[in-house]
Amino acid sequence: MLKTRAIVSAIALAGSISVASAWDALPTKAPAPANNPTTAEKVELGRILYHDPRLSSTGTVSCASCHNTMLGGEDNRPNSMGVHGQTGGRSAPTVWNAAFNEVQFWDGRAASLEAQAAGPVTNPIEMGMKSWDDVVARLEKIEGYPALFNAAFGNDAISEDKATKAIAAYERTLITPNSPYDKYAKGDKKALTAQQIRGLNKAVEIGCVNCHSGPAFNGPGTFQKFPVIDNAYLEKQYSLSADKGLYEVTGKSGDENKFKVPTLRNVALTAPYFHNGSVSSLEKAVKIMAKVQLGKKLSKADTEDIVAFLNALTGEFPKQTMPTLPGTPGSSFEYK
Amino acid sequence: MLKTRAIVSAIALAGSISVASAWDALPTKAPAPANNPTTAEKVELGRILYHDPRLSSTGTVSCASCHNTMLGGEDNRPNSMGVHGQTGGRSAPTVWNAAFNEVQFWDGRAASLEAQAAGPVTNPIEMGMKSWDDVVARLEKIEGYPALFNAAFGNDAISEDKATKAIAAYERTLITPNSPYDKYAKGDKKALTAQQIRGLNKAVEIGCVNCHSGPAFNGPGTFQKFPVIDNAYLEKQYSLSADKGLYEVTGKSGDENKFKVPTLRNVALTAPYFHNGSVSSLEKAVKIMAKVQLGKKLSKADTEDIVAFLNALTGEFPKQTMPTLPGTPGSSFEYK
């Protein structure tokens, strides 16, 4: 069904080569939920918590370890490496522009950045803390955190709710505007090369944009099935359908192999690709997507054009100050 | 012999309570070797390399992972956690003010910051790269590094020599001036509390300063034996003499259990303590040092005073910009 929809829409869209400029450029501010308005103090606290490895059982893994904002917002590994060198089955999604996802995690099991932030901290193979009570107990022992919570929330009591709100507020500032595509969409027709424009039109023509359009190229449609079309050869190489995605959360028939549509923003910087990180290059990823989502075999030239266009979605990374983490003078935690 | 020297000097020094102000405040610039003058471009490249986890086999461990400049320049662990969760026998020394050490590593086996920087990258339990040739091959594949090397060194060829020079140049900027002690030494007599002044005088009186004086509190004397005095009770708890230190490098009789005298700058932020990270609190560390180095049993009050003084050695941490690491558009490395 998706295939049919894709083809119909591609035909509809392919007529106009100016369709791209109809998509908005990336907003420079992300909307915040009513119960967690973004403030400078909350962002500052969140920035500190996000980079604090003491939120992990070993004291070695922070949010930034796997969602590295010095890189493309993740770790360029097939799957992330948590405490004690453990790895899971999924590839870390980028934190850049995650504020524009409707849901978080590959299986979309978190409805907000706040809910997402709580997860990895107590995941035994990620940050390995036994409970958020243990995290709060640690934070209370770190000089400086109570004052930072007070500045952000008006009182110095530390809680999971506040910590995850602060981290989410910080993440809402992680936006990468002014990619060549954004400049093009705003009217600078020289911002894309001829090859990138060809790639953009090809992406419209074959239907990539049916699921990857809008300012963050991650919709419309929160979830999509992947792969749509069975391909034994690719399955053998990349195990694309082993992970059941949304179904593993809901257990509902029809949810099998459904995944959150990932943003294409900065996709050139987030290899390897797909939920299981099984595909090493963007070129391969584009070819496989065309094959198993749209039933198309792309030529080498078309693939290269689309890759060139995807490189035009790499934005400008805001300059960040490195946080100075508050200390525990004269002592440290007993890391396991 | 050290014990005798310590006592003699302590008596000589203890007469004057103004001795402390005779020690220089921490310099705000570190001297650079003739073959590696510090330049802004080199520091910038070094800052980027220092934070780049792609210098490790797994892509997860950077210099900053264990020598974290967001914290006290290390990781607050007894021993650091390298690739695949491996740990060694020694505690990571702080990188803050390491430029003022005469030698590097606990056993002093590196004569310079440049030589030190080369070591952990190819240590199998630290960053795990097979060779610097492999590191250079990776750096050559990362877009942006050749230009950064060109800016720093006048040509874009990448080498171990240049990479370690750049990292060392960056590390020479990691200086923490203006601790309460520095302000006191410069004449602000209110910069230390009454307890901190008592602690300072006690440290002079009992002889701590025989090995921990000068601007970085890490000399005179590059190496010292530790422990000097056998103590079966403490040995059983903390295995202080199991690691033979300098002897493990030289094999020379007389070098057994000799270690580089560590700086006391920011010592409050670098728990747990000693070469093997076996002692969890600064208070315990002070008591043990008095016992096994100076043969003194410190009272609770004197210990607390010295700890208060040591807290006055916590300096101001310079604001740093978080580097944006250059990328590998469309691909990533095969991490092991």
Contacts of B34 (CB under 8 A, 6+ apart): none
B281 to chain A: which residues are within 8 Å by CB?
A: 330-331
The SS3 of residue A193 is coil
The answer to whether the Cβ–Cβ distance between B328 and A272 falls below 8 Å is no
Question: If you search the block for the tokens 């009770």, which residue do you land on?
Answer: B233
Return the number of CB contacts < 8 Å for A and B.
134
CATH superfamily name and code, A40-171: Cytochrome c-like domain (1.10.760.10)
Chain A nearest CA to B288, separation (Å) = 14
- Residue of A70, A75, A335 lying closest to B59 (CB–CB): A75
The SS3 of residue B96 is coil
Question: Which residue does chain B place closest to A85, by CA atoms?
Answer: B84
The residues facing A104 across adjacent strands are A110
The answer to whether the Cβ–Cβ distance between A76 and B69 falls below 8 Å is no
Per-residue pLDDT band at B2 (split at 50, 70, 90):
very low
Over range B76-91, report the average pLDDT. 97
Rounded-to-integer distance, Cα B84 and Cα B76, Å: 19
Q: How far is CA B298 from CA A2, A45, B15, B198, B202, in A?
A: 77, 40, 20, 14, 10
Please name which of B21, B19, B18, B313 lies closest in space to residue B185, comparing C-alpha atoms: B21
Mean pLDDT over each residue of chain A, to the nearest integer:
93
Which part of chain A is CATH 1.10.760.10? 2-28+185-311, 40-171
Q: Is 1.10.760.10 the CATH number for A2-28+185-311?
A: yes
Question: If you search the block for the tokens 């930072």, which residue do you land on?
Answer: A148
Entry field: residues in chain B: 336
Helix, strand, coil percentages in chain A from 3-state DSSP, rounded to 5: 40, 5, 55
One of A126, A140, A143, A316 is an active-site residue; which one? A126
First to last CA, chain B: 50
Per-residue pLDDT band at A5 (split at 50, 70, 90):
very low
Q: What is the DSSP letter of A59?
A: S
Question: If you search the block for the tokens 């400078």, which residue do you land on?
Answer: A40
Q: Which pLDDT score is estimated for B4?
A: 30
Structure token digits, residue B59: 């892509």
Q: Which pLDDT score is estimated for B336?
A: 85
B71 to chain A: which residues are within 8 Å by CB?
A: 325, 327
Q: Which pLDDT score is estimated for A278?
A: 98
Contacts of B188 (CB under 8 A, 6+ apart): none
CATH architecture of the domain B2-27+183-311 equals Orthogonal Bundle (1.10)
| Enclosing H/E stretch for A223 | strand A223-225
Rounded-to-integer distance, Cα B154 and Cα B162, Å: 11
DSSP string, A256-283: TTEEEPPP-TTGGGS-SBTTTT-B--HH
Per-residue pLDDT band at B82 (split at 50, 70, 90):
very high
Which part of chain B is CATH 1.10.760.10? 2-27+183-311, 40-171
B334 to chain A: which residues are within 8 Å by CB?
A: 280
The answer to whether the Cβ–Cβ distance between B71 and A333 falls below 8 Å is no
Q: Which pLDDT score is estimated for A336?
A: 84
Q: How far is CA A127 from CA A61, A132, A258, B85, in A?
A: 6, 11, 26, 13
Chain A nearest CA to B213, separation (Å) = 20
Over range B261-280, report the average pLDDT. 98
- Residue of B52, B317, B329 lying closest to A269 (CB–CB): B329
B57 to chain A: which residues are within 8 Å by CB?
A: none
The answer to whether the Cβ–Cβ distance between B68 and A53 falls below 8 Å is yes
Q: Is the pLDDT of residue B9 over 50?
A: no
What is the tens place of the pLDDT at every residue in B184-214? 999 999 999 999 999 999 999 999 999 999 9
CB of B180 within 8 A of CB of B312? yes
What is this model's ipTM?
A: 0.93
The answer to whether the Cβ–Cβ distance between A70 and B323 falls below 8 Å is yes
Q: CB count, 10 Å around CB of B260?
A: 26
The answer to whether the Cβ–Cβ distance between A322 and B319 falls below 8 Å is yes
What is the tens place of the pLDDT at every residue in B275-307? 999 999 999 999 999 999 999 999 999 999 999
Per-residue pLDDT band at A308 (split at 50, 70, 90):
very high
Q: Which pLDDT score is estimated for B24?
A: 80
The answer to whether the Cβ–Cβ distance between A54 and B70 falls below 8 Å is no
Model confidence, pTM: 0.94
Please name which of B251, B226, B249, B250 lies closest in space to residue B239, comparing C-alpha atoms: B226
Q: How far is CA B64 from CA A51, A76, A85, A115, A302, in A?
A: 12, 18, 17, 29, 41
Question: If you search the block for the tokens 């040995």, which residue do you land on?
Answer: B235
| Active-site residue set of B | 126
- Strands in chain B per DSSP E: 223-225, 258-260
Per-residue pLDDT band at A24 (split at 50, 70, 90):
confident
User: Which of B49, B60, B333 is most worth mutating to test chain A (most A CB atoms within 10 A of its CB)?
Assistant: B60
The answer to whether the Cβ–Cβ distance between A332 and B77 falls below 8 Å is yes
- Identity of the amino acid at A306: I
Chain A nearest CA to B19, separation (Å) = 25
Per-residue pLDDT band at B100 (split at 50, 70, 90):
very high
Question: Which residue does chain A place closest to B328, by CA atoms?
Answer: A269
Per-residue pLDDT band at A56 (split at 50, 70, 90):
very high
What is the tens place of the pLDDT at every residue in A193-233? 999 999 999 999 999 999 999 999 999 999 999 999 999 99
Per-residue pLDDT band at A13 (split at 50, 70, 90):
very low
Contacts of A282 (CB under 8 A, 6+ apart): A267, A268, A271, A273, A307, A310, B329, B330, B331
| Enclosing H/E stretch for B113 | helix B113-118
